Amino acid sequence: MPARSPIDSRALRQALGCFPTGVTIVTAPAGDGAFVGLTVNSFNSLSLDPPLILWSLATRSSSRRAFESAGHFAVNVLADDQVALSQRFSSQRPDKFDDLVVHAGLGGAPLIEGCSAHIECRTQSAQVEGDHVLFIGRVERVRSSGRPPLVFVGGRYRGLGAELG
């Protein structure tokens, strides 16, 4: 039996929620022209040379097998007018891509229109750590649109505040 963590999970969530993040939808092809995608804020930069990024996926995710076998994924960095998309892709609904305009990215990973940025990656590694699979991606193509990004903090969506420095 693994030792129980002395950290209270509510306190952990609250503390982690004090750290503002952007909001992304990570997508991949799922075979037969289908796609998988989910809202992700565990995305972060890892290395500039070579260009590497990371994100983590809950081991219980219905998309886990597709992400592990896809070979490529795309990080769609959401703009501040895309809250509805974030809500759609953080749900369990099977029709997340219905009526959505997407473009084919590298390796067949779909790119969503209207985002702040697209970061297209080849999967470098995927390893289980705790209750998540840690994905590391080698960046193969990037594009930024200049649209202001969506922010997530304290469990709520925000826009960028005033510049302070």
Quick check: 91 binds ligand FMN (CB under 6 A)?
A: yes
Quick check: 15 binds ligand FMN (CB under 6 A)?
A: no
Close Cβ partners of 104 (under 8 Å, ≥ 6 residues apart): 110, 111
Helix (H) and strand (E) counts in the chain: 3, 12
Of 6-14, 56-64, 75-83, 122-130: span binding ligand FMN (CB under 6 A) = 56-64
Q: Which is nearer to ligand FMN, 132 or 138 (CB)?
A: 132
Quick check: 152 binds ligand FMN (CB under 6 A)?
A: yes
Distances (CA, A) of 81 to 32, 75, 114: 31, 17, 9
> What is the Cα–Cα distance from 56 to 58, expressed in whole angstroms?
7
Quick check: 38 binds ligand FMN (CB under 6 A)?
A: yes
Helix (H) or strand (E) holding 53: strand 52-58
Q: What is the SS3 string spanning 28-41? A: EEEECCEEEEEEEC
Quick check: 78 binds ligand FMN (CB under 6 A)?
A: no
Quick check: 41 binds ligand FMN (CB under 6 A)?
A: yes
Quick check: 123 binds ligand FMN (CB under 6 A)?
A: no
Quick check: 116 binds ligand FMN (CB under 6 A)?
A: no
Site size toward ligand FMN (CB under 6 A) is 17
Q: Which is nearer to ligand FMN, 70 or 164 (CB)?
A: 70
Of 62, 81, 70, 82, the C-alpha closest to 27 is: 70
> What is the Cα–Cα distance from 90 to 93, expressed in whole angstroms?
9
Quick check: 47 binds ligand FMN (CB under 6 A)?
A: no
List residues binding ligand FMN (CB under 6 A).
23, 38-42, 55-58, 61-63, 90-92, 152
